Protein backbone atom coordinates (compact mmCIF):
# COMPACT_ATOMS: atom_id res chain seq x y z
CA UNK A 1 0.00 0.00 0.00
CA UNK A 2 1.02 3.56 -0.36
CA UNK A 3 2.04 5.86 2.45
CA UNK A 4 -0.48 7.65 4.61
CA UNK A 5 -0.08 10.97 2.77
CA UNK A 6 -0.74 9.31 -0.59
CA UNK A 7 -3.93 7.70 0.74
CA UNK A 8 -5.26 11.03 2.03
CA UNK A 9 -4.85 12.58 -1.45
CA UNK A 10 -6.46 9.91 -3.60
CA UNK A 11 -9.22 7.35 -3.82
CA UNK A 12 -8.35 3.81 -2.74
CA UNK A 13 -10.26 1.31 -4.83
CA UNK A 14 -11.13 -2.10 -3.38
CA UNK A 15 -12.35 -4.98 -5.48
CA UNK A 16 -14.41 -7.33 -3.30
CA UNK A 17 -15.11 -10.91 -4.38
CA UNK A 18 -16.35 -14.03 -2.64
CA UNK A 19 -17.52 -17.57 -3.19
CA UNK A 20 -15.65 -18.25 -6.41
CA UNK A 21 -15.61 -21.98 -5.61
CA UNK A 22 -12.79 -22.53 -8.13
CA UNK A 23 -14.35 -20.46 -10.94
CA UNK A 24 -12.92 -17.06 -11.82
CA UNK A 25 -14.98 -15.63 -14.66
CA UNK A 26 -13.36 -13.35 -17.29
CA UNK A 27 -15.99 -10.68 -16.53
CA UNK A 28 -14.94 -10.78 -12.85
CA UNK A 29 -11.34 -10.16 -13.84
CA UNK A 30 -12.45 -7.23 -16.02
CA UNK A 31 -14.57 -5.79 -13.21
CA UNK A 32 -11.64 -5.97 -10.78
CA UNK A 33 -9.20 -4.12 -13.03
CA UNK A 34 -8.11 -0.83 -11.53
CA UNK A 35 -8.45 -2.05 -7.95
CA UNK A 36 -5.67 -1.04 -5.57
CA UNK A 37 -6.47 -4.04 -3.33
CA UNK A 38 -8.65 -7.10 -3.91
CA UNK A 39 -10.45 -8.66 -0.95
CA UNK A 40 -11.59 -12.29 -1.29
CA UNK A 41 -14.11 -13.19 1.42
CA UNK A 42 -13.61 -16.95 1.25
CA UNK A 43 -14.75 -20.12 -0.47
CA UNK A 44 -11.97 -19.53 -2.95
CA UNK A 45 -11.88 -23.13 -4.18
CA UNK A 46 -8.37 -23.28 -5.65
CA UNK A 47 -5.04 -21.53 -5.05
CA UNK A 48 -4.84 -20.48 -8.71
CA UNK A 49 -7.75 -18.10 -8.10
CA UNK A 50 -5.59 -16.05 -5.72
CA UNK A 51 -2.68 -16.11 -8.19
CA UNK A 52 -4.90 -14.70 -10.94
CA UNK A 53 -6.20 -11.99 -8.62
CA UNK A 54 -2.66 -11.08 -7.52
CA UNK A 55 -1.84 -10.39 -11.17
CA UNK A 56 -4.28 -7.45 -10.88
CA UNK A 57 -3.56 -6.12 -7.35
CA UNK A 58 -2.43 -7.21 -3.88
CA UNK A 59 -4.92 -9.65 -2.33
CA UNK A 60 -6.29 -9.99 1.19
CA UNK A 61 -8.11 -13.33 1.50
CA UNK A 62 -9.79 -15.34 4.24
CA UNK A 63 -10.58 -19.04 4.40
CA UNK A 64 -14.17 -20.08 3.75
CA UNK A 65 -15.97 -23.13 5.07
CA UNK A 66 -15.28 -24.97 1.78
CA UNK A 67 -11.56 -24.06 1.69
CA UNK A 68 -10.38 -27.31 3.33
CA UNK A 69 -7.42 -28.39 1.21
CA UNK A 70 -3.86 -28.01 2.53
CA UNK A 71 -3.17 -24.84 0.47
CA UNK A 72 -5.96 -23.03 2.39
CA UNK A 73 -4.55 -23.77 5.86
CA UNK A 74 -2.32 -20.69 5.60
CA UNK A 75 -5.33 -18.41 5.12
CA UNK A 76 -6.74 -16.69 8.21
CA UNK A 77 -10.38 -16.97 9.22
CA UNK A 78 -10.53 -13.19 9.66
CA UNK A 79 -8.37 -10.41 8.31
CA UNK A 80 -8.10 -6.69 8.91
CA UNK A 81 -6.88 -3.91 6.67
CA UNK A 82 -6.94 -0.12 6.83
CA UNK A 83 -7.00 1.24 3.27
CA UNK A 84 -7.33 5.00 3.10
CA UNK A 85 -7.41 5.07 6.90
CA UNK A 86 -10.69 3.09 7.06
CA UNK A 87 -10.60 -0.01 9.33
CA UNK A 88 -12.05 -3.07 7.55
CA UNK A 89 -12.64 -6.58 8.91
CA UNK A 90 -13.04 -9.52 6.53
CA UNK A 91 -14.65 -12.85 7.41
CA UNK A 92 -16.32 -15.53 5.32
CA UNK A 93 -19.42 -16.16 7.44
CA UNK A 94 -20.72 -13.14 9.34
CA UNK A 95 -22.23 -15.46 11.97
CA UNK A 96 -18.70 -16.50 13.02
CA UNK A 97 -17.46 -12.93 13.61
CA UNK A 98 -17.03 -12.11 17.28
CA UNK A 99 -18.00 -8.63 18.49
CA UNK A 100 -14.42 -8.17 19.72
CA UNK A 101 -13.02 -8.87 16.23
CA UNK A 102 -15.40 -6.33 14.69
CA UNK A 103 -14.78 -3.60 17.28
CA UNK A 104 -13.56 -0.40 15.67
CA UNK A 105 -14.33 -1.50 12.11
CA UNK A 106 -16.12 0.89 9.77
CA UNK A 107 -16.62 -1.87 7.22
CA UNK A 108 -17.29 -5.58 7.69
CA UNK A 109 -16.93 -7.67 4.54
CA UNK A 110 -18.42 -11.17 4.49
CA UNK A 111 -19.44 -13.73 1.89
CA UNK A 112 -20.98 -17.16 2.47
CA UNK A 113 -24.65 -16.42 1.76
CA UNK A 114 -24.07 -15.82 -1.99
CA UNK A 115 -26.50 -12.89 -1.67
CA UNK A 116 -25.12 -9.43 -2.50
CA UNK A 117 -25.95 -6.96 0.21
CA UNK A 118 -24.88 -3.62 1.58
CA UNK A 119 -26.32 -2.40 4.84
CA UNK A 120 -25.23 0.32 7.26
CA UNK A 121 -25.93 -0.52 10.90
CA UNK A 122 -24.71 1.63 13.80
CA UNK A 123 -22.36 3.47 11.43
CA UNK A 124 -20.76 0.25 10.12
CA UNK A 125 -21.08 -0.84 6.49
CA UNK A 126 -21.83 -4.57 6.28
CA UNK A 127 -20.94 -5.58 2.73
CA UNK A 128 -21.47 -8.92 1.00
CA UNK A 129 -20.35 -8.93 -2.64
CA UNK A 130 -22.43 -12.02 -3.43
CA UNK A 131 -21.04 -15.01 -5.30
CA UNK A 132 -18.79 -14.59 -8.33
CA UNK A 133 -18.45 -18.35 -8.89
CA UNK A 134 -20.92 -20.97 -10.10
CA UNK A 135 -24.54 -19.86 -10.05
CA UNK A 136 -26.45 -21.07 -7.02
CA UNK A 137 -30.22 -21.29 -7.29
CA UNK A 138 -31.52 -18.00 -8.74
CA UNK A 139 -29.05 -15.82 -6.88
CA UNK A 140 -27.14 -13.22 -8.91
CA UNK A 141 -23.53 -13.64 -9.98
CA UNK A 142 -21.85 -10.59 -8.54
CA UNK A 143 -18.87 -8.93 -6.89
CA UNK A 144 -18.35 -5.57 -5.25
CA UNK A 145 -16.37 -2.37 -5.38
CA UNK A 146 -15.67 -0.04 -2.48
CA UNK A 147 -14.02 3.30 -3.13
CA UNK A 148 -12.56 5.21 -0.19
CA UNK A 149 -11.89 8.92 -0.62
CA UNK A 150 -10.89 11.07 2.36
CA UNK A 151 -12.47 8.49 4.68
CA UNK A 152 -15.77 8.46 2.77
CA UNK A 153 -17.09 5.18 1.38
CA UNK A 154 -18.83 4.43 -1.90
CA UNK A 155 -19.91 0.78 -2.09
CA UNK A 156 -21.40 -0.83 -5.18
CA UNK A 157 -22.49 -4.27 -6.32
CA UNK A 158 -21.38 -5.32 -9.82
CA UNK A 159 -23.80 -7.65 -11.62
CA UNK A 160 -21.52 -10.02 -13.57
CA UNK A 161 -24.34 -11.60 -15.57
CA UNK A 162 -25.23 -8.19 -17.00
CA UNK A 163 -21.53 -7.61 -17.63
CA UNK A 164 -21.23 -10.82 -19.63
CA UNK A 165 -24.43 -10.13 -21.57
CA UNK A 166 -23.41 -6.60 -22.51
CA UNK A 167 -19.66 -7.07 -22.72
CA UNK A 168 -18.96 -4.33 -20.18
CA UNK A 169 -19.14 -3.72 -16.45
CA UNK A 170 -22.61 -2.88 -15.18
CA UNK A 171 -22.76 -1.43 -11.68
CA UNK A 172 -25.87 -1.61 -9.55
CA UNK A 173 -26.15 1.29 -7.13
Domain of residue 163, residue span: 4-172
Tens-of-pLDDT digits for all 173 residues of the chain?
Answer: 444 444 445 899 999 999 999 999 999 999 999 999 999 999 999 999 999 999 999 999 999 999 999 999 999 999 999 999 999 999 999 999 999 989 999 999 999 999 999 999 999 999 999 999 998 888 899 999 999 999 999 999 999 987 655 555 444 44
Rounded to two decimals, what is the model's pTM?
Answer: 0.89
CATH number (domain holding residue 118): 3.60.21.10
| CA-to-CA dists, residue 137 to 25, 67, 81, 140, angstroms | 18, 21, 32, 9
Q: What total of structural domains would you count in the chain?
A: 1
Amino acid sequence: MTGRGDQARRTVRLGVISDTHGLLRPEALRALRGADVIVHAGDIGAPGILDELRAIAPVVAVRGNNDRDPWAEALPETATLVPGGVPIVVVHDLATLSPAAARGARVVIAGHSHQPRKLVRDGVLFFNPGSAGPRRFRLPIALGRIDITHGRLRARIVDLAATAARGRVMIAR
